[in-house]
Structure 1
Amino acid sequence: MARQTRKLERSDPVPAGRFAAGEDPAKREQIIDGAKSVFMKLGFDAASMNDITREAGVSKGTIYVYFQNKEDLFGAIIARERERITLRMRDILAGSEEVEDGLYRFGMGFATHITASQVIEAMRIVIGVVDRMPSVCRHFFNSPSQNVRTVLDDFIRRHVALGNLKVEDTDLAARQFIDMVSGTFFKLRLFGDLDDAPPFGEIDHVVTGAIRVFMAAYGLHNASVTTKTKEHA
C-alpha cells in the first residue's frame, strides 16, 4: 500500500526540537541583524526587503513569516537596542550601594554609549522617519518597562527610601541627570559638530560636574564629588 503524506498543518503539534513557524529566536535575531546592517549602510528609505534578504541570508518568504514589512523590522530593531542598553545600565547600577558611585557608573556608561558612532548613526535614521513612524520612535523613548530613565528612576527611588536622597519627583530628577551627562556631547555628535566620540577625560569631567549639581539639589548633605578611576566606567 502506498504511503500517504500530507503537509504539516498549523494545528498539528510541532516535532520535538523544532520551532513553530516564526518562533525560532535565533532565526529572528539573524533577520534583525541583517536588517540593522542594511539600514545602517543605506538608511531606512533606500533599504529594500531584497537587500535585507541577502544580508540576512534567508529567503524572502522566511522574513515575512517573522515580520510584516520593513517598518515592522525597523520597530523590532529599535525595541532590541532599547532593551540592550536598558539591561546594560541596570547591570551597572546593580552593584552600586553608594549614591555617587552609582551616578558615576551610570553617567559614564550612558554618555559613552549615547555618543558612540554606531548609536549616533542609528539615531539619525530614527529622526529621519519620525514623521512617518511616530509611534515606533515614541516607543523607543517612552516604554515604561524597558527604559533607561526608568532604571535610573528606580535607583533614585531606592536611595530616597534608604534616606540617602530627598527627591519629590524622581522621574524629573532622572531626566535632569540624563540630560546633564549626555546633552552637550550628544547634540554635538548628532548634528555633526563633534566628529568623534569624546575622550574619557572629557566625559569624566562632565559626569563629575553633573553629580555635583545633582547632589547639591537632592543630597542630604553637601557631598564632595571626586573623580573616579577608569575601572568604574
Structure 2
Amino acid sequence: MSDTIEKTVKPAPDATMKPLGKRERTKANNREAILAGATEVFSELGYGATTVRDIIRQTGLASGTFYNYFKSKEEVFEALMDDSMMRIRPRLRAERIRSRTFEEYIHNALRAYFEFLVADQSAHRVMRRNTGALRVRMDTPEVIAGFEEIRTYIEEDIAAGKLRKVDGEYLTAAAIGLAQEIGEKMMLRDNPDPQEAAEFAANLILSGVPGLALKD
C-alpha cells in the first residue's frame, strides 16, 4: 500500500523548478481535481459510505482518468492525509528552529497546528467527518515521517538536557493525540482561538512532564 502512495503523492513544489509543460500541468490539475472532489465527498458522506464512483462523479473526470492516479478510495484518502502533513510539516520545522527551549517549541508547534486547522477548513472537514478512518489510516509515508520528526525533536531535547528524562515515544504520542483532540473541540466553537488552545494544551503537557521523569 505504501509503495503505491509514494507514487501518487508528489513532493512539495520547489520555487527553483522549471515551469511544468502542458502534459505535466494536465496531470497535476487532474490529480488536484480528484483530491478536491474527494475532500467534498469524504466531508459529506464519510469514508465508510463513500465510493470511488462518488468521487469520480464529483470531479467530472472520466473513470479511466481517475484510475490513472488512484486504484481505490483508500489511496485517495491516504493521499489527502499526506497532503495535509506536507503542508503542516514546514510550519513545525520553522517553529523548531525559532524556539529556544522545549517549552517554547511545544507552545509554538501547537499554535501552528491549530492555526493550520483554522486556515484550512477543507482539511478540517475531512478530519472531523472521518475520525474513525483517521485512527486506523495514520501509516502513510508523510504522516509517519511527520510524527517521527516530532519524536526526534523531543528526544534531541531530552539528550541535550532541555527536557527531563522521559519516554520520548510515549510523550510524542501523547502530544499528538492531545493536539488532535483539542483541535477538534476548538473547531466546534463559534470563534476558534488557536492561541488559547495552544496555551491550554502546552500547559497540560508541560505540567505533566515533571511527574513522568524516568528513574536512572
Change (3 A) 1:153 1:217: farther
Deviations, residues 103-146 of structure 1 (Å, cap 9, x unaligned): 2101222344457765553234333557xx94xx2425995323
The gaps in structure 1 that reach 5 residues or longer are: 1-16, 220-233
Matches within 5 A, 1:1-233: 17=21, 24-113=27-116, 118-127=122-131, 129=133, 134=136, 137-139=137-139, 143-147=143-147, 150-180=148-178, 183=181, 185-186=182-183, 188=185, 194-196=188-190, 198-200=192-194, 202-210=196-204, 212-213=206-207, 216-217=210-211
SS in 1 for 2:144: coil
| Cα pair 1:181 1:207 within 8 Å, conserved | yes
**Greater RCO, CA 8 A, separation 6+:** 2
| Cα pair 1:112 1:203 within 8 Å, conserved | no
CA distance in 2: counterparts of 1:129 and 1:156, whole angstroms = 27
State which drifts further: 113-122 or 150-159: 113-122
CA distance in 2: counterparts of 1:129 and 1:182, whole angstroms = 14
The gaps in structure 2 that reach 5 residues or longer are: 1-20
Deviations, residues 20-41 of structure 1 (Å, cap 9, x unaligned): 9xx9344323321222123223
1:167 counterpart letter in structure 2: K
Deviations, residues 1-30 of structure 1 (Å, cap 9, x unaligned): xxxxxxxxxxxxxxxx5759xx93443233
Between structure 1 and structure 2, the one with the greater Rg is 1
Instruction: Give the structure with the higher percent helix.
Output: 2
| Cα pair 1:35 1:55 within 8 Å, conserved | yes
2:200 counterpart letter in structure 1: V
1:32 counterpart letter in structure 2: L
1:166 counterpart letter in structure 2: R
Percent identical across equivalent pairs? 23
RMSD (Å) for aligned C-alpha atoms: 3.9
Aligned residue-pair number: 192
Q: TM-score, normalised by structure 2?
A: 0.65
